[in-house]
Structure 1
Amino acid sequence: MRGLISHVVDDAVCTVLPFPTTRRVGKIRRTVEVLSDRSGKGADQYWKQVIAGMRTQMMSAGLTDDVVDRELRAFAEEVFGRVRHYAQPETNGAA
């Protein structure tokens, strides 16, 4: 199963099930909202802050670097896909 991490602690096995970042709809919406209102250095700084915070949370939960990187890439794809859509004016079918 994708993202399952097992750890042995005193002969007991514990499995960490990460919540997929692409399902963190509130976090995605908020990030898109902030990035859409900022540009340049302000947007870059906010993005780095979001990613650093998420990385810290996932590493603290015991996820491997590979899983963290994959989840953060998926989050970035979701956010920037929505940012591109958010930035495009609606034409309502008009040419």
Structure 2
Amino acid sequence: MRSLRAQPITDASCDVLPFPTNRRVGKIRRTVEVLSDRSGKGADQYWKQVIAGMRTQMVSAGLADDVIERELRAFADEVFGRISHSPRPETNGAA
């Protein structure tokens, strides 16, 4: 009969696989929504806040720098791709 005692694992390693940032639909939609309503410094400040928060979460999770950069770039590509393809509101000739 085998012993059921817990054995310490001394040589184990693991990779943390992040949920792909370009699949975080809710975060992407919210970011697009906020950025679409802001411009200039307000938009820039919000974008920096979003990216800094995501970076902090990924650093805390132990992701490698190259993975973090790749994920943040994928998120940015998705957000700005949606912004550039979203219809502009009609202004009826108003400036």
Q: TM-score range by the shorter chain?
A: 0.7 to 0.9
CA distance in 2, matches of 1:15, 1:69: 17
1:39 is aligned to 39
The runs of at least 4 consecutive aligned structure 1 residues that moved more than 2 Å come to 9-12, 87-90
Match of residue 79 from structure 2: 79
Computed over aligned residues only, the root mean square deviation of the Cα atoms, in angstroms, reads: 1.8
Higher strand share: 1
Larger radius of gyration: 2
Gaps of 5+ in 2: 1-8, 91-95
Higher relative contact order (CA 8 A, sep 6+): 2
Cα offset, 1:11, TM superposition: 2.5
Q: How many residue pairs align between the two structures? A: 82
CA apart distance, 1:84: 1.0
Unmatched runs of 5 consecutive residues or more in structure 1: 1-8, 91-95
Q: Aligned with 1:13: secondary structure?
A: coil
**Percent sequence identity over aligned pairs:** 82
Cα distance in 2 between the residues matched to 1:41 and 1:87: 23
